[in-house]
Structure 1
C-alpha cells in the first residue's frame, strides 16, 4: 500500500513509500512495515524503535514529541499512537468491517451467550457469520483460541479481513471495556450494538464504576450505528437512553417503556419460557438454556434480530434451537445421582444469577465452589463471598487464576465478605482440584455442585504461566474415580 493512502494524505512525508504491513509489536515487523510505537502498561513501544528499524520498518509512527534521532527512516508524529494504530490497521486491510455489518455486544455479563444466540440467528438467515469473543474467534471455516475478548487493533482488522472473505459475510463480536477504553476499535464500522448489563468488574483497570460505564457507553456514542439494543431495566441503560443514542433505539426489559417488553417468564431445568410484547406483535419464545439471565440474553438477541429486520418467526426458530454454550451452566454427567454444573460466573451479579438457576433445579443442598482471579478487581471478592454464602447451602472458596498474587490472600478477601454466622457452612481449600474433589465427595443424592469462575477455560494462570486445567475435565475425572 502507498503511504499516502495509508495515512490518508496526512502523514507529512515528502516521498511516497510502499508499506507492506502495519504493526505495533516490534517483534512482528517485516521489511517495509509501518511500525507504530505505542505506550503500553508494562513497557513503551518507543523503546523498541531501533529494533523495529533493524527488522526492516520503512516508517515509524511516534506519539507527541517522543525523541527520535538518526534512525534512518521517516518518522510520523501523532497525538495518540494507540488510536492511530487502529485507524492505520483499518485502512491497511481495506476497511473490512464495512463489509461485515458488525454487531458489537458489550456489558459485564451475558456477552458470550448473546453472541452465540445472534450468530445462530444470522447463520440461519443465510449469512456466514464469524464470532469473536471470550471463548474463541470463530470463522466459517475454523475456530482459534481467544487470548483477549477484544483483540488488539491490528489483529482485529486482520480478523475482519479474513471474515469478509466469506460469501455473504457477517460478524458478531464481544466488545470489552478495555478494548473501548484503549481505542482498539477505532476505525471499526458497527451496524448494531447491544448492551446487556453493568455490574462491578474490572475496577483494577477503570478504578471507578463511572469510568467503567463511560468506557462501555462509547460503543453507543462513538460509532455510526444503524440500531442500538439497550437493557432498559439496567440503571446504566436507562441513563444512556435518557441521553440519547445513535441509530434506532430498541430497548428491552420488563419496563412498560421497553420496546421489547417481558410480559411473563418462567425457567426450569429444560430452559426458559417467555412471552414478549414486541413491535412485531406478541411473541412466545422458549429457549433450551435455563436461568432468568438467559431470558435476558434471549431478549437482547431477539431485539437485535428486530433491528436486522428479521421476522419474529425466523428469530424464534433460531433461538428455540440453540446449542449449549461452552462453560455456561454446562452440566458434567458421570452417571452420578447429583448434579454437577460448571459456569464462567466471575462477578457477584453473575454468580447470583447462576446460583439462582442452580437452586431451581436442586432438590437438596446446593454446594458452590469458586474463587476470584488475582491481579484483577479486588473489590468484588467480598461481594462474591457474600453472594455465595447467601444463596448456597455450602461454600468452598478456592483459587481461580491467582496470577502473581498469593492465593491464600485472595481467599481471605473473599471470606471477609461472609458474615460470621455463615462461617460454619464455608471452608477454604486452596488448590482448585482439591476443592472440586471435596465438593464432589461430600455431595449426596439430589444435591447440586456448582463450580464457578472459569467455565470454558482450559488453563489456570499461576504466576505468569498458564497450566493445563479444565474444571469440566477435572470434575469428570474425579467422578470416574468415585465410581470405581
Structure 2
C-alpha cells in the first residue's frame, strides 16, 4: 500500500520525506520490522519507542510515525501526529481494508463478566450454525484455529490483523472483549460495532486510570465514541445507569437487563445450586420460559442475560436463543468446579477485584456447603488500595482463608500479603507464600461437604515473578493436591 493512500483523510502535523513510499507492514516493535515497514514510535509506561527508531530503520522501516519532533537522517519518511494511538488505529484499519465492516461485531466491556459473556455469545452463535470468531482474555479463535491470547484486547495493529484474518476465514460474527486499557489507548477505534455490551463497573485498574471516574470514561468510549448500532446494558449497576443517561442524546437502540422489573430483559424466581442455575425470563413485559444453565450463581445469571440480550440485539429469535441455554458451558477458570471424586467441592475462579471476590464468595455461600474456605492473593505492581479491601471481604465471607502469592511481578510477596492482612479483623486466616504449598494445605484442610475456592488466576497457566512467567496452573495444582490426598486416604 502507498503511504499517501494510508494517510488520505487523516490530519498529520508534519510530514517530512516521500509521501508515496510503499508500506508493506505496520509495526510498533522494532524487532518485528520487515523491509518497507511503517514503524510507530510509541511512548509507553515502561519503554519509549522513539529510542528504537534507529533500530527500526536499520531493519528496513521506511516510514516512522511519532508524536515527538524528529529530524530524519536517512532514507525514510517521518510523520508527526498529535495522538500516536489514534493514528495507529486509523492506519491499521485503513491498511487492512476496514475488516470490521464484513461481519457482525460484538464488543463486551466492564470490570467483571467480559470473558464469560463473550464466550456465551460465541457458543450461542456457533450453536445456531454461524461462523464465529472470538477475541478475549483466554484465546483468540478463528474458525477451528485457537491461539493463546496475549492481551484481553490486542494492540490496534494486532486487532485489525485478527479482524482481517476473520474476514479471510469468512466469519459471519466476531465477539471481542474490550478492556478499559484498549479503549483508553484507542486500540479498537474506527471499527464498526454492531452491538456493545456493558456488564458492570467496580474498582480495578486504578493504578492505570487513577480514579473511578476516569475508569468509567474509558469504558464509556465504546458507546459514545465508537457509535455501536445497539447497546446492551446492566441496569442494576450504578455505572450502567450513568451510561444510560449518557446515551439519551444518541440514537442507539438499547436493551437494559438485570433482576429489576424495570429492565427490558430480566430474571425472576431464581434457583441456584452446585448443579447450576434456573430462572424465569421476561422480555419487554412478557414471560417467555424457564431458563436452565450449567453456570453457577447470580453473577452468571447476569452474564446469561447479557448474552441473551446481545443475541436479541443481533436480530435472533428469543425462543431459538433460549433453546440453547442449557447446552452452554462456562469459560475456563470461571467458577470452574474441579472434580476428582473428592467429598468436598473445589472451585477455581479468576476473581481478582474486590467486587468480583465478594460476588464469588456470596454465590458460593448460597450453595449450602458446610464451610467456605478461600485461597487468594493479590497481584504485584497493581492497585495497592484494593488489597486490604479483598482481605476484609475474604475474611468476612469465609470460614477460613489461605493468603498466598498471586502474580507478585516485581514486588516482594510478603509485602503484598501485609497489605492484604491490614484489612482483616479476625484470626481466621493463615499465610502460605508459596502458592503450590498453599493449595495443597487448603485441600488437606477440607472436610466432607466443605467448599474451597481458589481465586485470582483462573485460566492462567503461569505465575509472573521478577519479570519471568513461570509455568503454574491452579487447576492442575488443585487436581494434583486432591489426587495426592485421595491416594493417601486409600492406602
TM-score per shorter chain, which class?
A: over 0.9
Match 1:23 to one of 6, 22, 27: 27
Match of 2:321 in 1: 315
Equivalent position SS for 2:215: helix
| Structure 1 residue 9 displacement after superposition | 5.4
* CA distance 1:161–1:276, change in 2 (3 Å): same
Tell me the distance in 2 between the aligned counterparts of 1:168 and 1:182: 26
Match of 2:5 in 1: 5
Match 2:90 to one of 74, 81, 87: 87
Return the TM-score normalized by structure 2. Answer: 0.95
Equivalent position SS for 1:35: strand
| Structure 1 residue 100 displacement after superposition | 2.3
| Structure 2 stretches lacking a partner, 5+ long | none
Contact 1:220 1:246 in 2 (8 A): no
Equivalent position SS for 2:457: coil
Match of 2:441 in 1: 438
* CA distance 1:391–1:246, change in 2 (3 Å): farther
Match of 1:55 in 2: 59
* CA distance 1:233–1:274, change in 2 (3 Å): same
Match of 2:412 in 1: 406
Return the TM-score normalized by structure 1. Answer: 0.96
Q: Tell me whether 1:39 sits opposite 2:43 in the alignment.
A: yes
| Structure 1 residue 362 displacement after superposition | 4.0
| Structure 1 stretches lacking a partner, 5+ long | none
Aligned residue-pair number: 480
Contact 1:280 1:312 in 2 (8 A): no
* CA distance 1:15–1:349, change in 2 (3 Å): closer
Match of 1:70 in 2: 73
Tell me the distance in 1 between the aligned counterparts of 2:165 and 2:264: 35
Contact 1:63 1:81 in 2 (8 A): yes
Match 2:371 to one of 358, 365, 374: 365
Match of 1:119 in 2: 122
Match of 1:201 in 2: 204
Tell me the distance in 1 between the aligned counterparts of 2:66 and 2:415: 41
Equivalent position SS for 2:380: coil
| Structure 1 residue 318 displacement after superposition | 2.1
Moved more, 461-470 or 354-363: 354-363
Contact 1:130 1:170 in 2 (8 A): yes
Equivalent position SS for 2:369: coil
Tell me the distance in 2 between the aligned counterparts of 1:110 and 1:401: 21
Tell me the distance in 2 between the aligned counterparts of 1:418 and 1:178: 31
Tell me the distance in 2 between the aligned counterparts of 1:36 and 1:198: 32
Q: Tell me whether 1:353 sits opposite 2:356 in the alignment.
A: no
Tell me the distance in 1 between the aligned counterparts of 2:251 and 2:56: 40
Match 1:283 to one of 282, 288, 296: 288
| Structure 1 residue 14 displacement after superposition | 5.2
Per-residue CA deviations over 1:201-222 (Å, capped at 9, x if unaligned) read 1111011011111111111101
